[in-house]
Structures are given as C-alpha cells and as structure tokens.
Structure 1
C-alpha cells in the first residue's frame, strides 16, 4: 500500500499509450526521469521505439510496444508484455492515446469520423481501464491517469465527436474513482485546453478549425512536458481532476454553476467551422 507521503510517480512501473509523441512521450520521459520503468506503447511502433530509445540513451529504462487501443486484444497483449517485463502488474497506467477531429456540425460529421474518434479517444481508455483496473484493484495500490480534455465539459460547436469522446473519458474516470474508493488506487482525469502537440496535424480537422487551433495553441498552449509534470504531481496528491490551465479551471466552474448561460455563450463562438 502507498503511504500518505509516498509519491506514486516515483520509481513507477508505468504503461503509457500514445507514447510515440506529444503528451504520451512527455509522460514516458518524465516518469523515467523520476526513476520509473516505462512501457512506451503506440499504434506507430517506430515512434514508440524512438521514445524508448531516447529514455534509454538518457540512462532510463524503457521498452516499446505496439498497441492499437481501439482493439481490446491489443490492449490485453500490452498488459501481458508489461507484466512480463515488470515481473508483475504495473503501478501506473496512462491512457493517453487520442486523435483530434473538428470543424464540422452535427449531421455533417461523417459517421466514419464519429467511429474513428470514439474508437480511439473513448474506447481506448475503456479498454485500458477494463484490462488494467482489475490488476490494480487486486494489488490495492497504484494509479490510472486518463487523458481527457477541457472539451469534456467545454461543448464547443463543431467539435461534437471529440467533445463526446472526452466527456465519456471524464465520466469513466469519475466512475472508476468511485468504484476504487477504499483501495489505495488513485484515478486522475487530465483536462487541459491547448497543448503544443501534433494532434491538429494528425487529426481530421477542417482547414478553418485548424487555423484557429494553431493560433490558440501558439498563444495559450502549454508544452506537453509541463502538462505531464503537473498531472503527475496532481496524481501524487491523489487529485481526481488535473486542469493545468487557468482557462480550463475557469470554464469548469462557470459550466458547473451556470450551465445554461455557459452554453449560450459558447454558442456565440462558432469561428473555425467550415
């Protein structure tokens, strides 16, 4: 069991999905810096290996693994790989893999895009929790970090598939935290606004929405390294919610206390929909 002064992110045996770039790579690197052993998984095995090699070159311990989080068999295989390498269950799982989509109104978004986004952004964390939560529950210690987004409560127009996927991740995290109450397994939902990653370039986002997102990312975006550090520190404190940026925290409180006013205000900002 973790003591009250113990930091879960120190010397962790960690599994990170989407570790080939962005926030996932930042989590992997920071956990290795904190003395952890890290399984870097990604659908792009080459990018996962790049992250793992960089960690090993820096004196850390990491291996790469292929995983398409939308496929339950891949996630089960990832768990087997991790347990074989660690010699037991991981102490920390970061369900990070995600994709972006936006700029199109409900009814115009293709069902293929809906399925693609939900398959990775929502079913990925569902699969991760389905496979790994029982391992941690049996161990009665450890932690799970689910990467959601301020989009989980932001409800920005033109972002329906992404918003719905991240709202599901937030609800999943809250439910899991309630179910794990009484154990020493912590759950944290990461809800940033803009982070300087390649999610815009690699997603299915219209040109107009891409331009808006690029500007906001440059002006207000945090680096993935900063976000990962803040989230791990929040997780160490046992925090359920990590909202690194002030605008995320402001939006969260306004949405909770004045939801109808918030939704009307957000509806006035439809820039980037094309």
Structure 2
C-alpha cells in the first residue's frame, strides 16, 4: 500500500461514473476502504444505491446520483451535485462508465451502433473532463482516472467502434497528462483486457461474440476488485498507464516492435474466431 503521505486516493472526495456494477463498483468500494467519500453515479439509480450500501459497509460514505454520461447536461448536473455534497471540488474523478460493442465488421456495423458506442465510451469521458477539470484546476489538486481498454491499442477485428472509442480515451488521457504537468493534478488511464464483469451482456455485442468473450473472461479474466486496487495504487504512484494483465502488456509490446505483423496476426485470429457469418449489406 502507498504511504498515506503520498497517497491521493486515501480519504479522497471521489466521483465514480458507472459505479452501479463491475469495475466502477469495485473502484467505489476500494475507495471506501481507503476512507473516501464517494459519489456513486450510474444510469440506474437502484444500482447506484446498492453500491452506496457496499461503500458504507466498507467504511466510507456514499451518495447515489443518477447520470447518463452520454448527456452533457447530465454530467454537468453530476458536477454540481458533487460540488454541493463535498462542499468543494472533488479530489478524484473516475470516468468509468462504458458499454461493450462488437461482433460486426466495418461497413456491417450500423451507424446507430457506432454513434451509441462513441457517445457513451468517448463522449462520456470528454464530458466528465470538460465539466470537472475546471473546478479541480481551480482547487489546485486532485486527479482523473479514465477507463480505457487494451482494445484501444490491440485493434482486434470486428470491434471497430469499441476500439475507436477506447483509443480516443487513450489519446485524450495522454493529452491531459501534457496539459496538467506542473498543475498539481495528475491523470491515469486503465487499459485492461478481460475483466469479470457484466459488460459482455451489452445490447451492442453480437450474441455469439458476447458468449465467447464472457467464457474467456470467466476462465482467464482478472477480478474487478484487483483491477481497481492496482489502478488506484498506480494513480498514487503517478503512473499514466495502468496495464494490469500480462497479455495486454505483451500485445502492447508486440504492436510497437512489429506493427505490420501485429495487424496480420490480428486479422488471422479474427478469421479463426467463432463468430457467425455476417449477413450481406449494411445493418
């Protein structure tokens, strides 16, 4: 554990989006164990309330706030409610809310699926940074954790919308790291592969692909609790990237050393993947 003198997560005033389940819930509970006050935001009010109960059982205090991160107005309202509850700026923002998408190739995925995926996974993070960073900068302290994915650099086939959304989060986070240098604020991005969460049940994942991904996650995926601990500890250490799994780190290295071969291998694996044949035409 990081010493309290250097920790930015112990006793934090934290806002977590997508806190109703999965990695977001794990972040909220782990922060509670570190003595944090946590605004537990989720599009589902009941799920947010359930997370607050877990936060309080873990020794923290929580506030459930319904929020659709795909709406700038919703995220602005989340900021205002957080400022009121904390009586000041939060010291930690975790842009975690996201949806899964995949199973169809470029030109076969519907534009509606593209728009929905980017609206939640990328614009949701943009809205969070846009609305919260000015008040955090004014306070002169705090940090941001953006949940990206190894998909942002792995670029697996038939996952284009999801890949693009997560690559955008990575680029945004790198830009923030440059802009926040010397301000007292820091940014960390999380890039996992398979985590044992309910993301594979999303409505934008083709059923066969969702089943395959869920089975892989169940077999080799990391628990959301471990991912949350590693990410918060990495943020305390000032790390920009947290890549918690060995397979993600191997993909990261391989792509940078042999980018052309990486793409060819990815294409081969895509043809071997147990996805159903795609129908002709654009969805």
Instruction: Deviation per CA, 1:191-217: give whole Å up to 9, x if none.
Output: 000000000113421122112202210
Q: In 2, are the aligned partners of 1:211 and 1:272 still within 8 Å (CA)?
A: no
Q: In 2, are the aligned partners of 1:45 and 1:64 still within 8 Å (CA)?
A: yes
Give the TM-score normalised by the residue count of structure 1.
0.96
- Summarize the Cα distance change of 1:70–1:257 in structure 2 as closer, same or farther, 3 Å threshold: same
Question: Partner residue of 1:66?
Answer: 66
Structure 1 residue 4: Cα displacement: 10
Q: Distance in 2 between matches of 1:55 and 1:4?
A: 20
- Indicate yes or no: 2:186 matched with 1:173: no
Question: Partner residue of 2:275?
Answer: 273
Q: Distance in 2 between matches of 1:220 and 1:5?
A: 35
Q: 5+ residue gaps in structure 1?
A: none
Question: Partner residue of 1:91?
Answer: 91
Q: Distance in 2 between matches of 1:90 and 1:167?
A: 26
SS state at 1:268 partner? helix
Instruction: Deviation per CA, 1:26-75: give whole Å up to 9, x if none.
Output: 00000011000000000111100110122223432001001100101111
Q: Distance in 2 between matches of 1:142 and 1:66?
A: 23
Question: Partner residue of 1:11?
Answer: 11
Question: Partner residue of 1:256?
Answer: 256
SS state at 2:39 partner? strand
Q: Distance in 2 between matches of 1:117 and 1:273?
A: 20
- Superposed CA RMSD in Å reads 1.3
Give the TM-score normalised by the residue count of structure 2.
0.93
Q: Distance in 1 between matches of 2:39 and 2:126?
A: 19
Instruction: Deviation per CA, 1:232-258: give whole Å up to 9, x if none.
Output: 000000000000000111111111221
Instruction: Deviation per CA, 1:119-159: give whole Å up to 9, x if none.
Output: 10000000001011112222221100000000000110000
Question: Partner residue of 1:139?
Answer: 139
Count of residue pairs brought into register by the alignment: 272
Please identify runs of 4+ aligned residues in structure 1 that moved more than 6 A.
none
